[in-house]
Structure formats: C-alpha cells, structure tokens
Copies of this chain bind each other. A is one copy, B any other.
C-alpha cells in the first residue's frame, strides 16, 4: 500500500492504531523519544511509531501490519546496544518494535538446568530469579541492569564471563522467532543435545533483528558458583598478562571466570567517577589484571586462588597482588573496572572500540595501535583494556579535554581510522562482541569478502525477501537481481 497523503507517517500511525489497537501503538513524539535515542546519547532519531506487543501473537500481528503498510521493523530490547542496531535511521519508513512488555519468565527448571524466558526479560532480573532457584545464568555485562535477553541473543552478547561460559550463542538451547512474513518459528526446546540437521536458530543469534524478531528463548543454566575468589594483580607488561592467562587456565583447571586487563590510568579514571573508591594497590605497574576464579561444591576456590598467586609471584610473573577477602572488597575491585568506564564518559566524547585479535597478538597489537595513535594525535590519550583471555581489546581514545567539540569529533574519526588500519594488519575483528548495527556497517562493508557478501545477501533474501526486518542494520542487503 503506497500513500499519496501529504503526511504519510500520520496516515501510517492511524492505520497502525486501527490494525493493532491503541494499547500497542505509541506515536507521541515525547513518548517515543527514549526508543529513538541510543545508550550513549550520540544519536537521536525518530520513527513512524513504537509498537509495544505483549505476546508472541502481538509481535506477529505487528510485523504483519508493518509489512502490509510497507513499513520496516526495527526490533529493540533494552536499548543498551552500542552500535545503533536498534535505533531507526529512516524515520518515515521505520517502526520500532520494543519487546519490553514481553518480560515473563515462562519456566525455570533447576532439575533440567534450563529456563524458558521471553525476549523482554531484563538480564539482571532474570539472573536474580534464576539464582533464587539455586542456579546460575552466566551472561554478565555492564548493561545487565537494563539490557534484555532478546537483545543479548540478537547481538550474541559477550561480557566478562565469556572465557568460561562462551558468548550468548553458547547459552541458548532454543528460540522462538517471529519471521518477516509474520509466521512463528517455534524452537523452544530445552533438549541439551538435538542434532536434527541444520540448526536454524543459529541464524538468528547475532543477526541483530535482520532476519526476524526473537520473542523467547530457552537457555542453559549451570550450578550456582557459591565460591568466588577475586584478585587484582600488578604486572610488568601486557606480555606478562598473557603469560599469566595461559598459566591460569592450566593451573586453575579452567575454573577462571573473568580475566580483565587494565592500564594504570584505570585507577585515575575510576577515582574521577567514584572519588572515594578504595584501590588496594599503587598505580606503579605498567599493567593490571582483575581476575576471578569461581566454582561450587568440594573445590576450595579461595585456596586455589591463593596457591595460584603464590606460584606466579614466586616465578616473577606477578609483581604485586591483592585478593579480596570479602564480597564487599570484591565488589570494590570490580568498581575499578566499571568506574574506569564511567571516568572515560566523564571526560566527554571519545573513541570507543571493541576489537579482537588472536590471543598471542594482543600485546603487539596494543603497542602498535597506541604508538600509531600517539604519533598522529599527540593530544589524545589511549586507554586499552579488555577481556584479554578472549583476545578482546577495548582500545579507547580520549581527546584532550581542552579541545573544542568539533576537534574532538575529528580526533575520534582520525583515531578510529588509524586503529582500523593497524587492526587490518593483524587480521583482527572490528567487532569482538558489540555487533555491527548501523555504527559499524560501513567499516564492515568495506572489508567484506565477496563470497561472504554473496552468502549474506542470499540468506537475507531467502528469509526476508521484502526487506521488512531492520533495514540499514549490519549491511545494506541487496534484493534479488
């Protein structure tokens, strides 16, 4: 249906309300604002409408209505994404489909180590409900108080526990998805092992809503790790951090659940965000690692951490170390990591990245990238940190606070370009965990091998030939020729 009306969005709004009912459709600009603005506040957009379905059937009706009206659907979870995958960029053609009302936990089955949850469940609330049953859902990331599990699945979220439990993909047993034609793919099995051919659910994990709308998932639970040991250690170099990681995997029998490296500047930044934060170590070492070992039952995790650190200090790999002796102390160590992020935000707009290289290349990559950026942009500061066990580095660049806004934006652009050049030499990934969304589409596109592009277009055309789902996200998919 093509509108000849002078205000096509107005007409579309009326039609959506009449097709779906007032309750599901937001069209007021103020009410829509928070759905059309990204987490960092970098981008403000708008949309024809925001649809807020309450059930899988509602979602199917929403997709069907949009398809009928020639509108496109931008699915959105907690709107905490960092690459604009859920933010509309064609306000007159796109509708935001928020899953926030689909937030029921359908089932937690501790006996089966599984749960079935709706896409709109907030990750933290989910984790709490699961913990109340004595179980554990390992996904853990900064946005966990606001992000929703459907978004985590659609972006294949990473986070701090990936080295032990894998990305979100590895935590998913089954999916329920509303397809672009409005039909419902019901794959909510809780079977641990099901090898009936091509595994369709894999397509939707990490697709950022370009192939359908994830409405519910069955997920894997594990026993709650009732013992957690947390330590902050100082090292002579990032090379030593990698050595420490390798040794920790072996010595701690893969019971390590987090391994984050940070520069000494982390302490300064954390204090800028949380002035009275206790920091149990001087900023005297070139590199710091925040590590966590966890387990349950008969394994003595505190003892394991203690003996591990004694060994690596004796061998000179670790120069200084502090083990948290209470949950409060452990929390404070994590606040250094989190405060470092907040501290960067407080210094204004800056370049954020989320890249990965092979583990053994992390030190040389960071050194080369920081050197190239320092040389070209001496008025900028590099802050490199990340989930080093996964080869995942967040190399951020803070332009001098003295610079006017426009020049800061230029520095961001310049430093991103330099970083990508170095990254290409290391055959790294420009998105280790955040996805592509709209923010990284051009950089992704520019590096996409032809064979991969052809496959992606073929898959998109096979599942969403009318390009209803999230156009502009990941790739400007091309229709059938």
Residues on A lying within 8 angstroms of B by beta carbon are: 109, 111-114, 155-156, 158, 162-163, 166-167, 169-170, 179, 183-187, 189-200, 202-203, 205-208, 210-211, 222-223, 225, 246, 249-255, 295-299, 301, 304, 307-308, 311, 356-360, 387, 389-392, 427-436, 444, 449, 451-452, 454-456, 458-459, 461-463, 474-475
Contacts and interface: CB of A to CB of B under 8 A. Distances in A.
B299 A299 contact: yes
B431 A196 contact: yes
B299 A455 contact: no
Contact of A195 (B187, B192, B431): B431
Contacts of A461: 462
A199 B356 contact: no
Nearest to A463: B458
Contacts of A449: 186
23 contacts: A111-B246, A112-B360, A156-B195, A158-B193, A158-B195, A167-B195, A169-B199, A186-B451, A193-B432, A193-B433, A195-B432, A195-B434, A196-B429, A197-B444, A198-B456, A198-B459, A223-B249, A223-B254, A251-B296, A252-B297, A252-B298, A254-B295, A298-B304
Instruction: Point out which of A202, A307, A308, A463 has the most chain B C-beta atoms below 10 A from its C-beta.
Output: A202
Contact of A112 (B170, B193, B308, B358): B358
A231 B170 CA distance: 29
Nearest to A306: B298
A318 to B, nearest CB: 15
Given A186-B451, A299-B255, A455-B463, A429 B197 contact: no
A67 B434 CA distance: 40
B197 A207 contact: yes
A199 B195 contact: no
B193 A253 contact: no
Given A307-B298, A359-B113, A195 B185 contact: no
B253 A191 contact: no
B199 A253 contact: no
A459 B198 CA distance: 10
